[in-house]
Structure formats: structure tokens, C-alpha cells
A and B are shown apart, each in its own frame.
Chain A
Amino acid sequence: VQLLESGGAVVQPGGSLRLSCSASGFTFDNYAIHWVRQRPGKGLEWVSLISGDGRTTYYGDSVRGRFTISRDNRKNSLYLHMNSLRPEDSALYFCARAPWGGAFDYWGQGTLVTVSS
């Protein structure tokens, strides 16, 4: 099982960014995939989830209405569309696999987002 994030960058406040997570080594559409972030020097914060079939999504309070999670099961890929970015969105963003309601059993290495003017 491998998860590989990409797309992190330096972006100005109010800007947009799309993160990607490429998966391999398992049947991608059998699993819900999450985004979890970690601000510099801080703890883990759950961001968003999408179900295996893409029909169900959840968002954390701090990103709801600004971020959109999506997936393309034909490409074994997960995305996070981030709009109206704020300095407090600066973090290392991980994608992680978890059975519904279960533990995050595999994680990517993360991609860094910096929101700064």
C-alpha cells in the first residue's frame, strides 16, 4: 500500500490550491480516504473524508465551505480543492486510508501548504 501526496505550494491568502493523493497497492474504491493536516509544531487535525464510491463526504468545521474533497477511482487518485485559503491553513497535509469508522492504517508522507503574502 502506498499513498503519495503532491500539489503543496506557497500561496497568497485568499488563493486556491489543489492537492492530489495517488494510491497504489490496494483496491482503491473499496476504501474511504481522508485528508489530515498538521500545522507546524502542532498536533493532527482531521480535515475531510470521502467514501469509496465518492458519494459521501464530510468536512471539519474549519474548512467546511472552503475545501472540497473528490476522487477519481479510474485514476486511483484523491483530491482536495482548497479555496479562500487563510494563513491558518498552512500545514503539512496527509492523505490516509481508513475503513469506515476504523483506524487510519496507511498514511502518505504529506505535502506542505504555506499560505503567506
Chain B
Amino acid sequence: SYVLSQPPSVSVAPGQTANIICGGSNIGTKSVHWYQQKPGQAPLLVVYDDSDRPSGIPERFSGSNSGITATLTISRVEVGDEADYYCQVWDRSTDHPWIFGGGTKLTVL
């Protein structure tokens, strides 16, 4: 079955740029979605279809996807961005096509 790999943690200072990667075989051929989850809260969609932002999500959140890696980029990181981030794809080749990465904990130092 299809596997998405994320680093367990990423640390960044306020005001800097955070890059959270999501690896998968030929992931560049799939649409990647990214979710932010803060403690005690439900996940929140922050980027969909590789690089689009839902209404209300700051422009500081952006995404890219090519080859074997998708990336969520958070510019001008704020303390409030500290959260777990999950990538997700739909792999139509299987009978359980909705797949999440293991998640990355973003720590703002």
C-alpha cells in the first residue's frame, strides 16, 4: 500500500521559514493536502491540491509538489503556528485510498 513519510519534528525560530516535507513514490502525480492540528483541536485544512489555500488561511502557508516530495512552507513563522502537520493523498489504486502521513511536530523556538 502507498506510504507517506514525514519527519517527526521540525524546529524553527519565530520569523523564519519552516519547510515540512512529505515523501512518497511519485507523489508528484497525486494531489497533496495538508492539515494543521493543535492540541485538543480537530485538524484544520491549510493547503489543498498541492498549493491552494482555503478561505481564511494566511498567505504565509504555501505548498509545492514534485517528484517524490511534497512540501508545506510556512513563511514568517509565528508562535501560534506551533502544531502537528499532516500530509494526505488519495491513491485510487487501492481499496483504502485515503492515506495520511505520520505527522510532523512543528516547534517554534
Binding site for B on A (CB under 8 A): 34, 36, 43-46, 49, 58-61, 94, 96, 98, 101-105, 107-110
Contacts and interface: CB of A to CB of B under 8 A. Distances in A.
Contacts of B51: none
Given A46-B98, A46-B99, A101 B45 contact: no
A103 B88 contact: yes
A102 B48 contact: yes
Interface of B: 1, 31, 33, 35, 37, 41-45, 48-49, 54, 84, 86, 88, 90, 92, 95-103
Contact of A105 (B45, B90, B100): B45
Contact of A101 (B41, B90, B95): B90
B28 to A, nearest CB: 17
Nearest to B42: A107
A46 B31 CA distance: 17
A69 B75 CA distance: 40
Nearest to A101: B90
Nearest to A104: B45
Given A58-B95, A102-B48, A104-B33, A45 B42 contact: no
A25 to B, nearest CB: 15
A58 B95 CA distance: 7
Contacts of A103: 31, 33, 45, 48-49, 88
Contact of A58 (B1, B49, B96): B96
Given A103-B48, A110-B42, 19 more contacts: A36-B100, A43-B100, A43-B102, A44-B43, A44-B103, A45-B100, A46-B96, A46-B98, A46-B99, A49-B98, A58-B95, A58-B97, A94-B43, A102-B49, A104-B35, A104-B43, A107-B43, A109-B41, A109-B42
